[in-house]
A and B are shown apart, each in its own frame.
Chain A
Amino acid sequence: MSDQQLEKLVEVKDLRISAYNDEKEEIQIVKGVTFDIYKGQVVALIGESGSGKTTISLASLSYTKPGLEFTGGEVLLNGEDVLTAPPDRQREIRGANVAYLAQSAAATFNPAITIGEQVTESAVLHGILTQEEATKRATELYHALELPNPDRIGIRYPHQVSGGQLQRLMAAMALCGKPDLMVLDEPTTALDVTTQIEVLKAFKKVIREENSAAIYVTHDLAVVAQIADHIVVLYGGEIMEQGSADQIINNPTHAYTRRLMDAVRPKPVAGLGTAVGEEHDREVPAVSVDNMTAGYGGIVNGEPAITILRDVSVDVKNAHVVGVIGESGCGKSTLARVMAGILPQARGTVKLEDQELEGSLNDRKLEELQKIQFVFQMADTALNPKQTISQILGRPLEFYHGLKGKEKHAKVTEILQMVELPPEFASRYPMELSGGQKQRINMARSLAANPEVLLCDEVTSALDSIVGANVIKLLTALRDKTGVSFVFISHDLSTVASFADEIVVLYAGRVVEQGPTDEVLEPPFHPYTRLLISSVPELRIGWLEDTMQKREMAVGIAKGVEITAVGCPFYNRCPMGIEGTCDQQSPPIRELEGGHQISCHLTIEDLKDAEKHTQQILHGYEKLEDASLKPHG
């Protein structure tokens, strides 16, 4: 990074960590790992789950998860071996010299204590700063991390700020005591792309300003390319390859690194997906939702107490894959839940092949239930741990189709083959399967019902990129083979782009754009779609800086989602918003060729020629910025 100081901060030498099983046999988790961290350097540990990356990063705090043991090697921090340090010294090191940032900020913060107290606690506890100094430093960090209202955010409680802000506050917590080393464990994995970019930017800036070193643990190469100076590629507790970020990203030598790079989601562009054949075409859409409003709480005059979805119309054609995309909280899952009848809609209709469906699944006919199947997001919780795979898969066969005994058994085997799992799995329990296999069983259970429509709620989100890619491959094959329609819900635009035939972009409970994948991913874009597309990280060093140059990004990610009943929901983040129009009236739906629809006040010509508006945007942004800086009231 900087030439003036190439001092070694951490030396990890031949680190070995083992676990012991019930028979007291040693299982090596980390098998002799050696790497160095220089001052001011960000070292990324990258690998799939189970590669030992978190275990190694925790070793720098001289900590292992329960059941693990250091069996060899040393970790030198400023020349001092932290592994053999006495417990008192280790306690000093943790928090003071090395700070740890966990994956989930929401789980790290205590909801009952103000943010400021928690951010300063460790620095004061270790006697590094007095409370006044710590509070002052925390405020400086809030500024550096570009948090809104930096002078006042400290007196708020964790639930009063957004997820992305919490993640940045956790960085402030780690940095408050001026540690030599920060350990960041997948800090952006759980975030939306637009939030991820804001957090990454803040992390990068603050690491540079503080000149602190960091270990960055992740499985996402595209993120690593933005932030790391040195990359260590791990598999099965061993280093496959290490080198400078530039060398690893642009010139990988190890087959495993290339495999990881292949699994990086491609930039969502038109032409990634495979078009469906004509053979499944039918006149009537498999499922259609018309002018539907849904939400939670009591319904008065067709308006629920809390509206999640507003006036949504979506058609799912036979054997088509409709990708539903949007940030968390935009109502993606709610759309699927309304289709499945879990949440009855307040207004509008849901049709299954021209047959209007009852709102609640209790009133639907068995045949209708069988035709629409729901695949839950977390296979871990969606499969009953006390049932074997054959019981899980056998139940829909028995329930809908009345299969019993040998017939049922044969069909279970057939379904297992369909999801590319061996028939021996039938006698196993879900606990005995890997994450990807569980997700396959989860989908297989829905397929066993022989449905017309499969509603997939974020089915790949909890999986590693390589495993997730395999699941998508399987889904594509299943669609071609069975002619099932899919509603594929995801916050990951790249996955949707590679799999869906049509895309529905949801924002704050409304459809802002929908149409065939290739049309949606090519200009003209809805301003929100453009923000989403440009937020997907690319496997390219310097991408983050390039993207932040774009003004529309600055406007879009600086603001949070506001759910409004009046006007366009995206108005407060839109670089092209027209005052007096966009915030007052609901946007018209503009029809383009091929069934492509954009819901925007701007005309198609305006959107096509978005560059023309950049000047306008700039004025708008300055105004916005001024307003946002002033504290409320």
Chain B
Amino acid sequence: MSESENQNGNQNEEVGQEVIEQLDKFDELPDAPPKRKLKLSWIGKISTAIVVFWVVIAAIGPFIAPFHEMDMDGDDSFLDAHSNEYGTFYLGTDYLGRDTFSRIIWGARMTIGISLASTILAYLIGITLGIAAAVKGGWVDMGISRVNDAILALPSIMLGLIAIAAFGSSIPILVIIAGIIYASSVFRIARALGLDIMVQDYVEAAKVRGEGLWWIIKSEVLPNAAMPLATDFGLRLVFVVLFISSLSFLGLGVQPPQADWGSMVRENLAGLTYNSWAAVWPAFAIATFTIAINLIVDDISAKSGGSLAKKMV
């Protein structure tokens, strides 16, 4: 620096010195921004409460239900709320004179349990194949993707009907069928996320470092795919609940006398003509559970700037 410039500098030393000091200080150590916490809106909070409520019911249902799901202790079928010597029927009785209230509590375990098992299965299959397709590319990707397209091309209910016609209906078969059918949509999301992440610079950095494929998947791809996939898990669960309920409604899902929300709606449809609410209550249970999950997913997506919501579509 020349001398004249230096003089100029000294002359103006006073002006703005505090700004420069501030700048220098910032260079050294800025404070870490506060960790962002996920805050749900009041709708989100209510929805969470509803979901937690149903999950708790599913877990402890048989211990708190006033009747067993198969007890035909009511005075008659399609009665309104009443009491007799066996106990109180809070929501009335169904077409066989069973307690609707108890059957909904028992049914929660069946409906939520099967759906959860199917969704987890769908995720295991979908993520494994999706990430494999994204990472390997080429023929592996081509092969899996085309088979997946074929599954996606068929309506899921039709596919379910055919599979049940072939293998018969039992709970393990239901779980496996729903798991495979819904794995196809999980596959698409996992593959898209995987492709997205695989071209990120940090993955390329790992490749340049000489990292193995498994390490890249485990340490770079999965942690970054986890959050969007977790959000999608909620939505997928809803679809599976509806799918299982639809199958049950058609009489192909959970078989009587076991209680399940979908089959309860079908069994009691005839009661609607007698002014009975027996078909409405299980439908209401399905609605509250699925809508609440949907709202939670929406809330989380909105909070994360909509970026998740975009990936879901």
Contact = CB atoms under 8 A, between A and B. Distances in A.
B210 A422 contact: no
Most chain B beta-carbon contacts within 10 A, residue among A361, A378, A384, A422? A384
Interface string B190-209: 00000000001110110111
A398 to B, nearest CB: 11
Interface stretch (A1-9, A104-112, A252-260): A252-260
Contacts of B209: 369, 395-396, 399, 449
B12 A361 contact: no
B32 A428 contact: yes
A168 interface: no
Interface in A514-572: none
A31 interface: no
A258 B9 contact: yes
B220 interface: yes
Interface residues on A, range: 35 or more
B12 A387 contact: no
Nearest to A257: B16
A97 B190 CA distance: 48
Interface string B17-28: 101101100011
Contact of A254 (B16, B32, B207, B211): B16
A625 B209 CA distance: 50
B95 to A, nearest CB: 53
Interface in A301-347: 340-342
A382 B12 contact: no
A595 interface: no
A630 to B, nearest CB: 43
Given A374-B208, A383-B202, A240 B219 contact: no
B19 A256 contact: yes
A383 B17 CA distance: 35
B32 A255 contact: no
Nearest to B197: A384
A253 B12 contact: yes
Contacts of A340: 208
B224 A385 contact: yes
A431 B224 CA distance: 14
Contact of A399 (B12, B28, B211): B211
Nearest to B19: A256
Given A254-B12, A254-B15, A399-B210, A259 B219 contact: no
Given A254-B15, A361-B210, A384-B224, A376 B20 contact: no
B155 interface: no
Interface residues of B, number: 31
Given A342-B204, A364-B210, A385-B224, A422 B16 contact: no
Contact of A259 (B23, B32, B207): B23
A361 B29 contact: no
Interface in A109-131: none
A449 B77 CA distance: 77
Contacts of A341: 208
Interface string A237-281: 000110000000000111111110000000000000000000000
A235 interface: yes
Contacts of A257: 16
Interface string A413-431: 0000000001010001001
Contacts of B9: 258
B20 A255 contact: yes
- The A interface, classified by DSSP as helix, strand, loop or mixed, is mixed
Contacts of A342: 204, 207-208
A382 B205 contact: yes
Interface in B1-55: 9, 12-13, 15-17, 19-20, 22-23, 27-30, 32-33, 39
Contacts, number: 85
Contact of A432 (B23, B33, B219): B33
A374 B12 contact: no
A373 B207 CA distance: 11
A240 B16 contact: yes
Nearest to B12: A253
Contacts of B202: 381-384
Contact of A378 (B20, B201, B220): B201
Contacts of A384: 202, 219-220, 223-224
A163 B293 CA distance: 47
- The B interface, classified by DSSP as helix, strand, loop or mixed, is helix
A477 interface: no
Nearest to B27: A470
B27 A256 contact: no
A445 interface: yes
Given A369-B209, A386-B223, A255 B201 contact: no
A386 B221 CA distance: 10
Nearest to B37: A22
Contact of A253 (B15, B223, B224): B15
Most chain A beta-carbon contacts within 10 A, residue among B200, B211, B224? B200
Given A384-B224, A428-B32, A366 B210 contact: yes
B12 A255 contact: yes
B200 A381 contact: yes
A343 to B, nearest CB: 11
A448 B13 CA distance: 41
B90 to A, nearest CB: 43
Interface string A574-601: 0000000000000000000000000000
Contact of A255 (B16, B28, B204, B219): B16
Contacts of B17: 255
Contacts of A256: 16, 19-20, 23
A585 to B, nearest CB: 38
A361 B15 contact: no
Nearest to A254: B16
A71 B83 CA distance: 65
A340 B206 CA distance: 12
Contacts of B28: 422
A387 B205 CA distance: 14
A240 to B, nearest CB: 6
Contacts of A381: 200-202
Nearest to A252: B12
Nearest to B35: A432
Given A381-B200, A432-B33, A434-B30, A255 B13 contact: yes
A422 B205 contact: no
A257 B33 CA distance: 28
Interface in A350-394: 361, 364, 366, 369-370, 373-374, 376-378, 381-387
A386 B224 contact: yes
A373 B33 CA distance: 31
26 contacts: A22-B39, A240-B16, A253-B15, A254-B12, A254-B16, A255-B13, A257-B16, A258-B12, A259-B23, A340-B208, A342-B208, A369-B208, A382-B201, A384-B202, A384-B223, A384-B224, A385-B224, A387-B223, A395-B209, A399-B209, A399-B211, A422-B29, A431-B33, A432-B32, A434-B30, A445-B205
Sorted from nearest, which 4 A-B pairs have the closest CB atoms? A255-B16, A386-B223, A382-B201, A369-B210
Given A253-B12, A255-B16, A376-B201, 9 more contacts: A240-B19, A369-B208, A369-B210, A373-B208, A378-B201, A382-B205, A384-B219, A384-B220, A395-B209
Interface of B: 9, 12-13, 15-17, 19-20, 22-23, 27-30, 32-33, 39, 200-202, 204-205, 207-211, 219-220, 223-224
